[in-house]
Structures are given as structure tokens and as C-alpha cells.
Amino acid sequence: MENSRVVLYVIAVSALLLAACEDIFEKDVSDVKLEMISPADKMSSPEQGIMFKWRENEDAERYNLQVVKGEFSAITNFYVDTLISVSRFEKVLSAGNFQWRVRIVNGSSKSEWVTRSFTIEQSKDITTVEPVLLTPENQAATNKSDVEMSWEALDGASNYTLRVYKSGWGSELVEDISVFEGTKKSVTLVDGTYTWGVIGRNSANNSRPSTRVLTIDTKSPVASEPSTPAEGAVQTSFDVLFTWTRPTDNGSALSDSIIISKTNKFKKADIVAKALVTGDARYNATFTEKITYYWRLKTFDKAGNSSGYSAVKSFRVSF
């Protein structure tokens, strides 16, 4: 009877010990295959800061990460061989071809290696080139405050810096914008003349800046003042010289539309001459009738703003 109790006691204790051991034994991970996240297999990029990531496994105690330049079968340099408990690792590397691999390492088992390849591109030397600017064109003037600036993609550049200066390049900085996607950016500017430009960049160097001048002018000009022929003047020739005085304007360049009519109503059928004068404030016209004529001006600036009409002057051709 006593022997039976001993046997039962030993069996019970053994069962408890076995259960406890099962609780502390690690799971066998020899058949586990980790899921790799980044860098993607055969990825190619000029970025030198690499974040190695893989899907976390609940049975893993630690992960063994290795990174080599070349291939594991033909190693050029061994950059990383580490045991970590998290499923990520960051490393800055130089240009070249690389392989990386990860496996789970527990006390009693190891998973198989999972291997991937990637390339860090050699950053091109762009120090002697500059981006090609598209819009706005050089010396452009606009009456819009919101302006979209665009340029062509520069070979070797991974991002760009758009800068806008008040007046000349390198003077008072108005905008300094990093552009990581695309080749255009909109800015909002107040009236004035600016120099804007773009610099191409990569992880190793920068391009030269490409620049243009832009004028923002949202204000309408004052109409020019007619000078000659003066009001009521008599012209003794069919050839008449018209002159006028343009206002002082701090915006964009001015031009004038001169309209000459047989009546002071300036109806379409009565207009005998109409021209846009962009140079000197003068215009020559030749007439065929000895009658009274009327003329007036409308002033425009380069940005597209316009004045109202000037005062009307009349003169007579008579000889």
C-alpha cells in the first residue's frame, strides 16, 4: 500500500515538472520564414540611410541581422552582424550593391536565413549643371499674386530647392522651399520685382542655381495724357504726329493704345486708326479727309492691367 502511494506521488510530481518545463521551453522556429519589409528585394535608390525592417514574429526572442557589400557568397565588406530584439535596424551605407539577411535565434532553435539584395546608386556629380526653368518666362510680369513656378527634371537630382529673393539673387530671401516630389510649386507674392531660381540636389552634391526675374503687378496704371495735337489745333498736312506723356509707374512697363475717330463717340464705324504703341510715346498717322478728328488713349502695363480712357482731344485737318 505504501509503495502505491509513493508511485502515485512520483507520477504527480513528474507531471507537474513536465508541464512547467513545457511553459519555459521556447517554440521550435526552425521552419519559420520571416517576412521581409524593407528595403524591397532588388531595390535601387540613391538614398544612403537604409531602414531594415521585417515582420515581427511572436515566437522570436532575438533576430540575427547581417548586411554585406557584394553577396554572401562573395563578400566585399561585412557591415552588420548583430543580435537584436526588435524588428528594425537603421544603417547609413555608401554606394554599391548589397545583400542583407535575417533569421530568428532562440535558445534551442534558429530559423532559416531570408536573404534580399539592394543597390545604393552612386550620386551623380551635378555641381556643374543647372535646372532648366519653364514657367514663368524670364522678365515676365503678371497681375496674379499666385504664381506656379516649374522646371524640367534634372538628371542626377533627387530633390530641389526653390528660392525667391526680393530683387537680386542672394538678397532678401522671400521663399525657401524644398521640393521632394515633382518639378513645380506655387507661391503667393505681393507686388514687386523678384529673382526666383531652382537648385537641384542629391545626397552628395548640389547643382548651380538657375534663375529668372519676375514682376508681380496687380495695380492698374493711370491713363497717359495726350499732348499733341492739342485740343482745337489745326493741322496743315495729312501727316500728323501724335505725342503724349506717360505716367510714372513703379510696376511693370507701360504701353498705350491710341484710338482716332471721326466722331467723339468712337463708334467702330467712325474709327480711322487704332494702334498699340510699346516704344516711345509717339505715333504717326496719315489722313485723307479735311475734317475734325478725335483721339484718346488707353494705357496698359506688361502685367495685363489697363487704365480707363484718357481725356478726348480734337483737332482739324485744314489747309
The pLDDT assigned to 13 comes to 46
Mean pLDDT score across all residues of the chain: 91
Locus of grid cell 547581417: 66
Q: What are the CA-CA distances from residue 251 to residues 75, 101, 222, 300 (Å)?
A: 66, 64, 11, 11
CA atoms within 13 A on the CB side of 12: 6
Spatial distance between the Cα atoms of 311 and 244, rounded to a whole number of angstroms: 11
Any domain includes 5: no
Same domain for 112 and 187: no
Same domain for 45 and 113: yes
Is 23 a residue whose pLDDT tops 60? no
Residue numbers of the domain that contains 231: 225-317
CATH number at residue 142: 2.60.40.10
CA atoms within 13 A on the CB side of 277: 23
To the question of pTM greater than 0.75 for the whole model, the response is no
Q: Which residues contact 83 (CB under 8 A, 6 or more apart)?
A: 62, 63, 64, 105
Give the chain's domain count.
Answer: 3
SS3 3: helix
Q: Of 216, 236, 261, which residue constitutes the final position of a domain?
A: 216
The pLDDT assigned to 123 comes to 80
Any domain includes 105: yes
Same domain for 158 and 103: no
Same domain for 312 and 230: yes
Any domain includes 209: yes
The pLDDT assigned to 88 comes to 96
Same domain for 155 and 89: no
Same domain for 311 and 235: yes
Same domain for 83 and 42: yes
Which segment of 73-77, 162-166, 226-230, 295-299 scores lowest on mean pLDDT?
A: 73-77
Same domain for 212 and 229: no
Same domain for 164 and 83: no
The pLDDT assigned to 121 comes to 87
Q: Of 93, 120, 147, which residue constitutes the final position of a domain?
A: 120
Any domain includes 125: no
Q: What is the pLDDT of residues 258-269, one digit of tens each?
A: 999 999 999 999
In the structure, what pLDDT confidence band is assigned to residue 304 with cuts at 50, 70 and 90? very high
Interval 57-86 mean pLDDT: 94
Cell of 132: 532648366
Q: What is the pLDDT of residues 139-184, one digit of tens each?
A: 999 999 999 999 999 988 999 999 999 989 999 999 999 999 999 9
Q: What is the pLDDT of residues 258-297, one digit of tens each?
A: 999 999 999 999 999 999 999 899 999 999 999 999 999 9
| Residue that wins the pLDDT comparison between 253 and 140 | 140
Any domain includes 207: yes
Number of helices (H), then strands (E), belonging to the chain: the values are: 1, 25
Same domain for 241 and 171: no
Any domain includes 150: yes
End-to-end CA distance of the chain: 156
Q: Of 184, 216, 248, which residue constitutes the final position of a domain?
A: 216
Any domain includes 19: no
Spatial distance between the Cα atoms of 89 and 67, rounded to a whole number of angstroms: 11
The pLDDT assigned to 122 comes to 83
Is 8 a residue whose pLDDT tops 80? no
Same domain for 43 and 115: yes
Any domain includes 20: no
Same domain for 173 and 229: no
The pLDDT assigned to 17 comes to 47
Which segment of 124-128, 177-181, 197-201 scores lowest on mean pLDDT?
A: 124-128
